[in-house]
Amino acid sequence: MYLPFSSVCDDFYVNMRLSTQLPLPNNRETVLHFFERVQKRFPEMTRFRKHENGDLAIEESRDNDSYRWVTLESKRLCAGHVNPASLEDALKIHAMLLEQAPYDLGLSPVEVDYLDILFGFDLAYRGNHDEIIAQSLFRDSPLHCLLDENPDAKAVDIQPSFTVALSDDCRLQARIDVVTRTNSYQVRTGDYGNDVISVYCVIRRYWGDRPKEPMHELIADLGRRAEEMCINQVIPKIIQPISAAIASR
């Protein structure tokens, strides 16, 4: 796993999403040519399938600790690398897709809605996820008053999301999402599953104009920004407090 993050989570992944205004091609010849190009560059991506909603995907075996995946949706091209050895390794598949999309899928910068990169951190915890978030991130927040009001109160839905603009035109944005997977039935019965708490750090570039740099260079810049934000802010202020709360149980 990527070393700076290996000690703070159970799984780490770097995802890319390219959203378009117009539908992406879905004819057999174009789609197969596209996935064949992906497979030629990454030969271990052998698992090809079509989902019920029509999305097409190819991926490496998930039995491995580290694996890549690519999904072609109606208006999105998505990819990810789970537990990469380095940021450079994670960006290889993203850069390749963004370089080839204009040729293999006829993608034009004119139709692009946004491009983003997501750094994801999964932390396993068999218990009330929302209680962990309340303890680790909201203990000193005025919002904690709901839990202080009643000694029998239990957290059932605490999933903070925070978005900021990083540029004057608001086209470059950063978002942090904390995703819990505990439901009211589990809290009521105490029967919890082996789910994970996820923390997402997303850097997104909305188009609106034509960026001067090619998309494969832009994703590298977004990746560096996300890496710096995670090291300086997300890990010490969000991931580590959540991990400490989990360890205290």
Higher-pLDDT residue of 143 and 96 is: 96
pLDDT more than 90, % of the chain = 84
Cα torsion through 63, 69, 72, 73, rounded to 10 = 70
pLDDT score recorded for residue 211: 67
Return phi, psi of residue 29, to 5°. -65, -45
Query: Tell me: the pLDDT tens digits for 191-216?
Result: 999 999 999 999 999 987 766 788 88
Cα torsion through 166, 170, 172, 174, rounded to 10 = 60
CB 42 within 8 A of CB 61: no
Domains of the chain: 3-247 (3.30.160.110)
Q: Is the pLDDT reported for residue 173 higher than 90? A: yes
pLDDT score recorded for residue 208: 77
**Which of 51-55, 117-121, 148-152 has the lowest average pLDDT?**
148-152
Cα torsion through 56, 60, 64, 66, rounded to 10 = -90
Q: Which residue is associated with the tokens 């019920």?
A: 52
Question: Which residues make Cβ contacts (< 8 Å) with residue 191, sequence separation at least 6?
Answer: 185
Determine how many CB atoms are found less than 10 A away from the CB of residue 82. Answer: 22
Q: What's the order of all strands across the beta sheet hosting 11-20?
A: 47-50, 56-59, 67-72, 76-82, 11-20, 112-124, 196-206, 172-179, 161-165
**CA 107-113-115 angle, 5° bins:** 85
pLDDT score recorded for residue 2: 62
pLDDT score recorded for residue 90: 94
Residue ranges of the alpha helices (H) in the chain? Answer: 3-6, 28-41, 87-104, 129-137, 145-149, 184-189, 215-229, 240-247
128 token code pair: 């009330």
pLDDT score recorded for residue 5: 83
Q: Name the nearest CA neighbour of 18 among 118, 86, 163.
A: 118
161 token code pair: 């999301």
Query: Tell me: the pLDDT tens digits for 69-94?
Result: 999 999 999 999 999 999 999 999 99
Cα torsion through 216, 221, 222, 224, rounded to 10 = 130
